[in-house]
């Protein structure tokens, strides 16, 4: 399956053929990939499609035309086009763009960068950041001058075990020997370890010699802001992979819990969600600039946790778009963390943090960016325990998507938000993007709305939050007619020869009897359901059941 992501984009064949050819736009896209990690343009596949049109033919001369025009319109961009024959018989062009060793631009001096699945312009001072943040050779691949034979044997053995145990690694990779795995993951090149190899598998002395190995300080404060405890990991004995477990294990505050009221009962909940803490630590370790010194700080206050990382966010990512933007600063380290099961797939880590926090009735994380630091703040306590019950029960019943859970959790913590306010929380632009986050919530009557256009206001019915369980009444009173008919047919298949009262009781007494009777009449008119008897003695069964001889014979048709 071909999807658009940080490394792949799709374009219509009209982009490069005839009067509709848009060479300037294509050149900008090539610059985006060249300034990022490289990528490919699939020219001839329309947006939203997985295959080219059936019978589409790529003119043979267009490949030379592509090479020539991209070379004329860009600086420091290398492309390699080739024709691909799809399974449906159509053809398309796969245009591979290599990562440029130098900053790439269009010939008229414009700079672009691929962030997530979008191409963003780089303007003003960010051009200097682009030049300084992407050396010709990534830091991870630099030669450490440490022989690969000097890798820490214990760390190498543990690394091999974790790779073999991972369900994210292909069998062909697991079959590799140790030396082959080091090369496969760019941990070694030739006879020496790379900087990434020393960071993960080197000895303590070699890791310390790097000068930028991550150091972590956790400081606990009391209500007056005074330091009362401190934990430090600054001796470079642990690799970034080992640091995640060590920090979670050694800080006792992460295993504290407290009780929240649930009706007549009380429920013990953790002060901090383990998946959230681990994801924050992984983000701090994977996305920090390893060409810059600075400790990672975990500031523990009575009501919140702050994770402070040295350096700024990757170019193109801001506190305003962190929920959607995806750009890896350290590709090799991110790949290893993913394959070892320590981080989510690309672009979904912050989504997970939002999902876990909002689903538990906690506020959303608050990201901030300073001159040379990035801080993410999460709250310790659950503000509205009833939100946790609502989201949990709604998810169990309707199998909500991650975006639906995030939206429901955000709305349930307020008395309602306008479309604009909700868009700010979810970092969306326009009604179309917002609709993708609301999903089925309105259809399921979990979320309601009033007003129109810019005055549209979304809110969660307070009755949903008052009960100890999600009441069927709220969701089924607005059930769509075709869905109600499907429920009736399913019920009669299991329980033939049933009265309308019995059907009503089984699929939900909150459905009005008149509504149920109307649906039964509609099903009889279409020939799917039949009945015997009249008034309160009327019984229903599927028409097909009568054809199979399942109709009860002991009932009088005119009873």
pLDDT tens column, 346-404: 556 788 899 999 988 899 999 999 988 999 999 998 888 888 888 888 888 888 899 99
- How many residues make up the chain in this entry? 559
- Output the pLDDT for position 555: 42
What is the Cα–Cα distance from 482 to 523, expressed in whole angstroms? 10
**Contact present, 311 and 289 (Cβ < 8 Å):** yes
DSSP state of 327: -
pLDDT band for position 467 (cuts 50, 70, 90):
low
**Integer Cα distance of 165 and 186 in angstroms:** 20
Concatenating the DSSP letter of every residue in 63-108 gives HHHHHHHHHHHEES--EEEEEEE-TTS-EEEEEEEPPPSS--EETT
Bridge partners (DSSP) listed for residue 298: 218, 307
Residue range 398-419: average pLDDT?
Answer: 90
Q: Which residue has the higher pLDDT, 292 or 152?
A: 152
Residue 326, SS3 per DSSP: coil
Strand partners, 418: 457
Share of the chain above pLDDT 90, in %: 46
pLDDT tier at 557 (50, 70, 90 boundaries)?
very low
What average pLDDT does range 248-266 have in this prediction?
82
Give the pair of three-digit tokens for residue 242. Answer: 């080992």
Confidence of residue 184 (pLDDT cuts 50, 70, 90): very high
Whole-angstrom Cα distance, residue 428 to residue 433?
Answer: 6
- Indicate the pLDDT class of residue 137, thresholds 50, 70 and 90: low
Instruction: Please give the pLDDT value at position 559.
Output: 33
Q: At what angle do helices 481-494 and 513-525 cross, to 10 degrees?
A: 80
**How far apart are the C-alpha atoms of 188 and 198, rounded to whole Å?**
9
Specify whether the CB–CB gap between 328 and 334 falls below 8 A.
Answer: yes
Q: What pLDDT is recorded for position 156?
A: 95
User: What pLDDT does residue 269 have?
Assistant: 86
Q: Quick count: other Cβ atoms within 10 Å of Cβ 559?
A: 11
Q: What is the pLDDT of residue 479?
A: 65
DSSP structure string for 111-166: EEEEETTEEEEE-TTHHHHHHHHS-SS-GGGSEEEEEGGGS-HHHHHHHHHHHHH-
Eight-state DSSP code of residue 507: H
Pairing status of strand 227-233 against strand 216-221 = antiparallel
Question: pLDDT per residue over 191-215, tens digit each?
Answer: 999 999 999 999 999 999 998 899 9
Pairing relationship of beta strands 39-43 and 8-11 according to DSSP bridges: parallel
The verdict on pTM exceeding 0.85 is no
- DSSP state, 187? S
List phi, psi (to 5°) of 251: -95, 110
Annotate 220-273 with three-state secondary structure: EECCCCCEEEEEEECCCCCCHHHHHHHHHHHCHHHHCEEEEEECCEEEEEECCC
Which residue in the block uniquely carries the two structure tokens 């069998």?
Answer: 171
Find the mean pLDDT for residues 34-43.
89
Q: Do 304 and 280 meet the contact criterion of CB atoms below 8 Å apart?
A: no
| Tens of pLDDT, residues 276-305 | 999 999 999 998 888 888 899 999 999 999
Higher pLDDT, 31 or 462: 31
364 closest CA partner among 385, 378, 352, 374: 378
Radius of gyration over alpha carbons of the chain, in Å? 30
* Alpha carbon distance 193, 181 (integer Å): 12
Does residue 328 carry a pLDDT above 80? no
Residue 532 φ then ψ, to 5°: -135, 150
What the block records as the tokens of 117 is 């699945």
Judging by beta carbons within 10 Å of its beta carbon (0-12, 13-18, 19+), is residue 248 exposed, middle or buried?
middle
pLDDT recorded at residue 469 = 44
Which residue carries 């689903």 as its tokens? Answer: 359
Domains of the chain, each with CATH number or no CATH: 8-133 (3.30.950.30), 139-210 (no CATH), 217-331+340-379 (3.30.565.60), 385-475 (1.10.10.10), 481-547 (1.10.10.10)
- Interior angle at CA 328, CA 430 and CA 420, nearest 5: 15
Asked if 458 contacts 449 with a C-beta cutoff of 8 angstroms, the reply is: yes
Mean pLDDT of the chain: 86
Confidence of residue 551 (pLDDT cuts 50, 70, 90): very low
């Amino acid at each position: 399956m071909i999807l658009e992501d940080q490394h792949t984009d799709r374009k219509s064949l009209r982009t490069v053929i005839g009067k509709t050819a848009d060479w300037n736009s294509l050149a900008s896209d090539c610059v985006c990939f060249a300034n990022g990690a490289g990528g490919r343009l699939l020219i001839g596949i329309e947006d939203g499609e997985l295959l080219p049109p059936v019978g589409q033919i790529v003119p043979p001369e267009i490949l030379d035309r592509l090479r020539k025009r991209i070379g004329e319109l860009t600086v420091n961009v290398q492309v390699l086009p080739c024709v691909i024959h799809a399974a449906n018989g159509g053809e398309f062009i796969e245009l591979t763009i290599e990562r440029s060793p130098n900053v790439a631009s269009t010939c008229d001096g414009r700079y672009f960068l691929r962030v997530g699945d979008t191409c963003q312009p780089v303007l003003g001072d960010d051009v200097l950041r682009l030049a300084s943040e992407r050396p010709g050779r990534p830091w991870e691949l630099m030669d450490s001058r440490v022989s690969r034979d000097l890798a820490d044997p214990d760390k190498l053995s543990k690394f091999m075990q974790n790779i073999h145990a991972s369900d994210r690694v292909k069998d062909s990779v697991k079959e590799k020997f140790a030396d082959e795995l080091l090369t496969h993951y760019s941990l070694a090149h030739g006879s020496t370890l790379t900087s990434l190899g020393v960071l993960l598998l080197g000895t303590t002395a070699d890791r310390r010699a790097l000068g930028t190995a991550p150091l972590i300080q956790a400081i606990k404060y009391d209500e007056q802001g005074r330091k009362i405890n401190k934990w430090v990991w600054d001796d470079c004995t642990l690799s970034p992979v080992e640091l995640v477990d060590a920090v979670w294990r050694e800080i006792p505050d992460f295993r504290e819990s407290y009780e929240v009221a649930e009706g007549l009962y009380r429920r013990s909940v953790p002060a901090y969600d383990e998946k959230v803490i681990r994801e924050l630590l992984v983000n701090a370790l994977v996305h920090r600039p390893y060409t810059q010194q600075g400790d990672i700080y975990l500031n523990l206050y009575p009501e919140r946790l702050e994770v402070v990382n040295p350096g700024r966010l990757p170019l193109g990512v801001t506190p305003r778009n962190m929920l959607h933007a995806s750009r890896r600063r350290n590709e090799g380290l991110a790949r290893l963390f993913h394959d070892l099961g320590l981080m989510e797939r690309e672009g979904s880590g912050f989504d997970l943090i939002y999902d876990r926090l909002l689903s538990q009735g906690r506020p959303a994380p608050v990201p901030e960016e300073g001159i040379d630091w990035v801080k993410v703040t999460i709250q310790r306590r659950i503000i509205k325990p009833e939100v946790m019950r609502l989201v949990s029960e709604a998810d169990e019943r309707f199998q909500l998507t991650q975006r639906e859970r995030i939206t429901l959790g955000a709305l349930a913590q307020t008395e309602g938000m306008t479309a604009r306010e909700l868009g700010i929380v979810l970092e969306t632009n326009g009604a179309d993007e917002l609709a993708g986050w609301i999903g089925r919530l309105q259809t399921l009557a979990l979320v309601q709305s009033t007003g129109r256009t810019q005055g549209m206001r979304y809110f969660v019915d307070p009755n949903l939050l008052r009960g100890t369980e999600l009441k069927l009444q709220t969701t089924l009173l607005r059930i769509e007619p075709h869905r109600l008919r499907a429920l009736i047919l399913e019920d009669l298949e299991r329980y033939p020869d049933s009265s309308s009262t019995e059907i009503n009781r089984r699929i939900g007494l909150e459905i009005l009897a008149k509504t149920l009777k109307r649906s039964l009449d509609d099903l009889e008119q279409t020939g799917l359901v039949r009945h015997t008897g009249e008034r309160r003695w009327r019984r229903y069964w599927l028409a097909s059941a009568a054809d199979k001889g399942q109709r009860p014979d002991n009932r009088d048709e005119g009873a």
